[in-house]
Amino acid sequence: MMKTVTEIAGLVQGQVVGDGSRTVHDVAPLDHADSGHVVYIDAPHRIKGWVNSRATALLVQGHLVDQLPDDGRPRIIVTHPQEAFVRLMLHFRPPRARANVGISPHAFISPSARIGEGTNIHPGVCIGDNVEIAAGCDIHPFAVIGVDCTIGAGCVLHPHVVLYPDTVLGRGVILHAGAVIGADGFGYRFDGQQFRRLPHTGRAVIGDEVEIGALATVDRAMVGETVVGDGTKIDNLVMIAHNCRVGRHNVFASQVGLAGSVQTGDYTRFAGQVGVADHVKIGNRCSLGAKAGLHDDVPDGQSYHGYPAGPELEQIKVHLAARRLPEMRTQFKEMQARLAELELQLAALLAIANAESHDGVVPAPNATAARQAA
Amino acid sequence: MMKTVTEIAGLVQGQVVGDGSRTVHDVAPLDHADSGHVVYIDAPHRIKGWVNSRATALLVQGHLVDQLPDDGRPRIIVTHPQEAFVRLMLHFRPPRARANVGISPHAFISPSARIGEGTNIHPGVCIGDNVEIAAGCDIHPFAVIGVDCTIGAGCVLHPHVVLYPDTVLGRGVILHAGAVIGADGFGYRFDGQQFRRLPHTGRAVIGDEVEIGALATVDRAMVGETVVGDGTKIDNLVMIAHNCRVGRHNVFASQVGLAGSVQTGDYTRFAGQVGVADHVKIGNRCSLGAKAGLHDDVPDGQSYHGYPAGPELEQIKVHLAARRLPEMRTQFKEMQARLAELELQLAALLAIANAESHDGVVPAPNATAARQAA
Amino acid sequence: MMKTVTEIAGLVQGQVVGDGSRTVHDVAPLDHADSGHVVYIDAPHRIKGWVNSRATALLVQGHLVDQLPDDGRPRIIVTHPQEAFVRLMLHFRPPRARANVGISPHAFISPSARIGEGTNIHPGVCIGDNVEIAAGCDIHPFAVIGVDCTIGAGCVLHPHVVLYPDTVLGRGVILHAGAVIGADGFGYRFDGQQFRRLPHTGRAVIGDEVEIGALATVDRAMVGETVVGDGTKIDNLVMIAHNCRVGRHNVFASQVGLAGSVQTGDYTRFAGQVGVADHVKIGNRCSLGAKAGLHDDVPDGQSYHGYPAGPELEQIKVHLAARRLPEMRTQFKEMQARLAELELQLAALLAIANAESHDGVVPAPNATAARQAA
């Protein structure tokens, strides 16, 4: 699908600078673009990438366009380059139409389950007793939905998703392949000989518009609920343990782990591989750095880093000081030697001074030594 | 199901203090309890939680009951509050009866497989040649059991569990959704150009009463066995590599990783996200702190923390000292300045002293400086 | 299957030292060998293991054989003990013949899919529209292959593998149970209120002879491709995010996580639980230590360790210095005390000296104090 630059500028309400008659046929990331591609930049440090790229046209903000060398390639001025890029991406690569498979005869569906209009149930899906699935959902092959689960409208369960019994999904939830929601929490009582399972009669409740990545797990509560708040996005291989209460619009990068009963506020972000100890409370709009290990509560709005985690600035100072530790140790030993030498010399001087003054009023260089000498 | 406090006290052999005629209908966690709920506390620092809670009744030990303000709410004195709580939880929320589905006609079962009495085989289960499954097991949808596997009595395989060929499960093993047991170990030989697979002809052997979390993996041995000892409990997303030999009654929190050939004793506990390098030996009754990274053996009974991990007390001291490093660096630079100044002053004093004594017996303040001056 | 030592030496072109008439029936790892087993050693520090083992025979290099005590057990001198061991392992434990199941009538296969000769499609496999699968593949139960995927010759997809639409696998790729390739990347645009999904119209491309472990994930690109280069080996539970470009013959141990758009060269190795921040570039033949956390680029050939990661030698020095920090703090405080005492004494001496010289030429002990006094 060939388009002129002027045509695509029209699609994104952009203003062409340069030759609008050039043609493009796709979008591409800046690093891997070729002739015929449209790319975008949204920061000055990306300009070099554009200059080195073979892309045909650029989406760019007005305030950056003057900083570009004029190499004859057309530029399209837009307010939000990434948004415009996404619009063109969907233009050149329209999403596949949603398959309309209806309810597969090869699914295993309890007679007591209720399934809403327009919901697709693919082959091999298992749906237990009393399950309710609202309208417009896509339940992909081999998803297993336990008894008494409830699924809101417009949810997508990718292949092999497992919902243990009693799980609740809000509207518009997306669960990627292999995600497991509502498994028994990891709770045992040690009887002196062995670990006895604590029954888990609570459930997992996933809010509206939540997205959970492939092979992530959210365990059910022992009693009560494990909650993931509306709008929260969770990446692959994340672990949310029993009785956690995650706020709304949180973001969890891959491989984060929350131990039991952790609470988070709204708009809090976890970078990759963060770990949080049980019962820790994290506030609103916090930011946890990659690999941070949290044992203590984090107040609203704080950025915590490191292991054990602390406030970002403090951690940076500690880290910088730690990197200079070997050098400091060397200087430290040298200082010890110089100090010892000074003490010797001062002792010698004092001996002379005392000998001259004949009254010993000057204290000895080392109080202990002086006391011992007395 | 409404019960009076006196009635539920009877269920747990407890003694009512206060008004036993109040009614309750469920248990709840302390933080989220409401009117009509029973809660429990088992430590003085939970008292505040009870005071602030709207729960109707409390399970509590005798020695704590006197520390509670009398707000008119009934308390039930019991020896083990958590145990009593679990009993009431199961009373108010009786576990679902085990489904009796028999052997699904939609399962794929080799004619040479043997399946014990009372074992449920759900739809979509695949069972390979020569598999033996003992009595009373639940094999949930889409579990795949490779050839020559052996499964003891009373095991539960949740949906999508995969047992590679030759895997052995003891009695009463619970494998949560998506767990993969017996996959080929990660072993290669580098031939100078590429990595060549080392065949893995060993197997994975899981002991009695082991529980393994959702999406956890235990790889088979190259030769011999990867072993998980009786009674060990493993949380979600844990990795146990080839040829590990995990002892009995170990506990692995989520996202722990053991590299190849790690050995552990009995009753050893791993907090979340711990990593252990290959061939490390960890003793009995050890405790490994969250995110610890182990490269060296750990003797019996030790608590190790940190990365690289060391004994807990040592690590705490190092950590506390590290947090004060930036301040120490400031003081250090100030000390360097003071020391330099002392050296200058002493040199001046020595010059005077030597001039007065005319014989230069006092050594110069800095041997190097003296040599340069000479 | 009993063999004499002389017979098995013939199988590996080895030379027997000692009694070649002894019989063996299996290989075993050194630590768990018993009578009748062949073991191998390939380094001097393994000699003790051989001495303590009850194995019947040993594969060993010529240069090590003289260091062994002669306890009467036969040794077989070979050039590559591990290779010889693997050959004997496959002799005593021949791999199962590849099952020839053809195309299961219980698979769900789009009429537009094309499947090569000799490819096995097990029950429950789902294959979408326009999928192409080359010859000689094994597609195990419940693998789900989305529309427009392409799979090269000789690939093995273990149970429950999921390929999202558009995924490309080269020749000889092995995907272990539950691996998920091509899921949507974790990319959102925050609109001030909530996180909006960025559509992911790119794909994931897996090179020839790649092996990916159980429950590992490789996400698709937003635009363009997420690439895993030829010959790269990836262990269980690893995360490769959208738009990463992994080079050839890399090795990823378990639980490593790469954030978006990371690039790696060839022959680079990641130890367990390493995390790499987005857009980081890692060179050829690098080595990243266990649990390393990378925020900056790594030049060719470097070994990086620690968190935040740095060059190995630097990190070792920092670590050793950090372990001595508590001791250094103690010495530091003692030095502060000694320095303060020296200052006092010197002040006293100076007072005397100045009094004697009557002209105050000697500077005061603290320059600032002196200037203030002036």
Does pLDDT of A362 surpass 50? Answer: no
Please list, in sequence order, all residues whose beta carbon lies within 8 angstroms of the beta carbon of residue A306, skipping any fewer than 6 positions away: A289, A292, A293, A315, A318, A319
pLDDT of C127 reads 98
Name which of A26, A37, A86 to mutate to probe chain C: the one with the most chain C Cβ atoms within 10 A of its Cβ.
Answer: A86
Interface of B with A in 127-186 (CB under 8 A): 140-142, 158-160, 176-178
Nearest C-alpha neighbor of A266 from the set A212, A218, A221, A230: A230
Write the burial class of residue A34 (CB in 10 Å: 0-12 exposed, 13-18 middle, 19+ buried).
Answer: exposed
| CA–CA separation, A349 and B354 (whole Å) | 10
pLDDT of B41 reads 95
pLDDT of C150 reads 98
Contact criterion met (CB < 8 Å) for B160 and A164: no
Other beta carbons less than 10 A from residue A374's beta carbon:
7
Using a CB–CB cutoff of 8 Å, tell me whether B211 touches chain A.
yes
Q: Which residues pair with A275 in a beta bridge?
A: A257, A293
Residue B15 has phi, psi (to 5 degrees) of -115, 125
Question: C239-270, pLDDT tens digit by residue?
Answer: 999 999 999 999 999 999 999 999 999 999 99
pLDDT of A351 reads 81
Write the Ramachandran bin of A218: left for phi over 0, alpha for psi from -120 to 50, otherwise beta. Answer: beta
DSSP A52: H
**Strand, coil or helix: what is B257?**
strand
pLDDT of B368 reads 41
Does pLDDT of A352 surpass 80? Answer: no
| CA–CA separation, A96 and B69 (whole Å) | 64
Chain C positions in Cβ-Cβ contact with residue A214 (cut-off 8 Å): 162, 180, 183, 217, 219
Question: B293-321, pLDDT tens digit by residue?
Answer: 999 999 999 999 999 999 999 999 999 98
Range B131-148 burial, b when 16+ CB lie within 10 A, else e? bbbbebbbbbbbbbbbbb
Contact criterion met (CB < 8 Å) for C323 and B332: no
Question: B35-55, pLDDT tens digit by residue?
Answer: 999 999 999 999 999 999 999
Question: C136-151, pLDDT tens digit by residue?
Answer: 999 999 999 999 999 9
Chain A positions in Cβ-Cβ contact with residue C149 (cut-off 8 Å): none
- Please name the residue that has the structure tokens 């596997």: B149
Q: Which string of DSSP letters, residue by residue, matches B122-146? A: -TT-EE-TT-EE-TT-EE-TT-EE-
Range B315-326 burial, b when 16+ CB lie within 10 A, else e? bebbbebbbebb
Please list, in sequence order, all residues whose beta carbon lies within 8 angstroms of the beta carbon of residue C256, skipping any fewer than 6 positions away: C235, C238, C239, C270, C271, C272, C273, C274, C275, C276
Type of residue found at A359 = D
Higher pLDDT, B34 or B360: B34
Higher pLDDT, C325 or C281: C281
Does pLDDT of C372 surpass 80? Answer: no
Contact criterion met (CB < 8 Å) for A82 and C189: yes
Chains that touch C (3 or more CB pairs under 8 A): A, B
Q: Please, what is the average pLDDT of chain C?
A: 92
Nearest Cβ partner for A272 among C257, C322, C345: C257
| CA–CA separation, A236 and C218 (whole Å) | 10
Using a CB–CB cutoff of 8 Å, tell me whether C273 touches chain B.
yes
pLDDT of B360 reads 47
Confidence of residue C271 (pLDDT cuts 50, 70, 90): very high
Contact criterion met (CB < 8 Å) for A253 and C183: no
The answer to whether C140 is a known catalytic residue is no
Using a CB–CB cutoff of 8 Å, tell me whether C30 touches chain B.
no
Write the burial class of residue C158 (CB in 10 Å: 0-12 exposed, 13-18 middle, 19+ buried).
Answer: buried
Question: B314-373, pLDDT tens digit by residue?
Answer: 999 999 988 888 888 888 889 889 888 888 888 888 887 777 665 544 444 444 443 333
How close, in Å, is residue B46 to chain A by CA atoms? Answer: 13
| CA–CA separation, A161 and C307 (whole Å) | 34
Chain A positions in Cβ-Cβ contact with residue C332 (cut-off 8 Å): 332
Residue A353 has phi, psi (to 5 degrees) of -60, -45
Q: Which residues pair with B188 in a beta bridge?
A: B197
Contact criterion met (CB < 8 Å) for C344 and A326: no
Name which of B180, B184, B336 to mutate to probe chain C: the one with the most chain C Cβ atoms within 10 A of its Cβ.
Answer: B180
Chain A positions in Cβ-Cβ contact with residue C342 (cut-off 8 Å): 339, 342-343, 346, 365
Q: What percentage of chain A exceeds 70 in pLDDT?
A: 95
Does pLDDT of A373 surpass 70? Answer: no
Q: Are B228 and B240 in contact (CB under 8 A)?
A: yes
pLDDT of C346 reads 86
Using a CB–CB cutoff of 8 Å, tell me whether C32 touches chain B.
yes
Write the burial class of residue A370 (CB in 10 Å: 0-12 exposed, 13-18 middle, 19+ buried).
Answer: middle
Nearest C-alpha neighbor of B13 from the set B78, B107, B108: B78
Interface of B with A in 72-111 (CB under 8 A): 82-83, 86, 89-90, 93, 95-96, 106
What is the pTM for the complete model shown?
A: 0.92
Question: B218-259, pLDDT tens digit by residue?
Answer: 999 999 999 999 999 999 999 999 999 999 999 999 999 999
Nearest Cβ partner for B325 among A222, A318, A348: A318
Q: ipTM for the complex? A: 0.91
User: A30-34, A295-299, C218-222: which has the minimum mean pLDDT?
Assistant: A30-34
Does pLDDT of B5 surpass 80? Answer: yes
| CA–CA separation, A50 and A59 (whole Å) | 10
Report the Cα A66 to chain-centroid distance in Å: 35
How close, in Å, is residue B152 to chain C by CA atoms? Answer: 22
Using a CB–CB cutoff of 8 Å, tell me whether B123 touches chain C.
no
Contact criterion met (CB < 8 Å) for C180 and A328: no
| CA–CA separation, A288 and A282 (whole Å) | 10
Q: What percentage of chain C exceeds 90 in pLDDT?
A: 80
Chain C positions in Cβ-Cβ contact with residue A106 (cut-off 8 Å): 108
How close, in Å, is residue B310 to chain A by CA atoms? Answer: 15
Contact criterion met (CB < 8 Å) for C29 and B164: no
Q: Of how many residues is chain C composed?
A: 374
Does pLDDT of A357 surpass 90? Answer: no
Name which of C200, C201, C244 to mutate to probe chain A: the one with the most chain A Cβ atoms within 10 A of its Cβ.
Answer: C201
Does pLDDT of B177 surpass 80? Answer: yes
Structure token pair of residue C60: 């060993």
Q: Omega into C308 within 30° of 0, i.e. cis? A: yes
| CA–CA separation, A246 and A256 (whole Å) | 13
Kindly name the residue from A37, A122, A200, A242 that is annotated as catalytic. A242
Average pLDDT of the segment spanning C20-43: 93
Confidence of residue A367 (pLDDT cuts 50, 70, 90): very low
Q: Which string of DSSP letters, residue by residue, matches B171-196? A: TT-EE-TT-EEEEPP--EEE-SSSEE
| CA–CA separation, C320 and B271 (whole Å) | 25
The radius of gyration of chain C from alpha carbons, rounded to an integer in Å, stands at 32
Residues A184, A189, A192: CA angle, nearest 5 degrees: 145
Using a CB–CB cutoff of 8 Å, tell me whether B363 touches chain A.
yes
Q: How does strand C303-306 pair with strand C309-311?
A: antiparallel
Question: B133-164, pLDDT tens digit by residue?
Answer: 999 999 999 999 999 999 999 999 999 999 99
Q: Which residues pair with B269 in a beta bridge?
A: B251, B287
pLDDT of C373 reads 36
Interface of A with C in 306-335 (CB under 8 A): 307, 319, 322-323, 325-326, 328-329, 332, 335
Nearest C-alpha neighbor of C339 from the set A336, B326, B349, A349: A336
Question: A109-157, pLDDT tens digit by residue?
Answer: 999 999 999 999 999 999 999 999 999 999 999 999 999 999 999 999 9
Q: Which string of DSSP letters, residue by residue, matches C288-336? A: E-TT-EE-S-B-TT-EEEETTEEEHHHHHHHHHHHHTHHHHHHHHHHHH
Q: Omega into B308 within 30° of 0, i.e. cis? A: yes
Residues B205, B207, B210: CA angle, nearest 5 degrees: 120
Average pLDDT of the segment spanning A235-252: 98
Does pLDDT of A371 surpass 60? Answer: no
Confidence of residue C350 (pLDDT cuts 50, 70, 90): confident
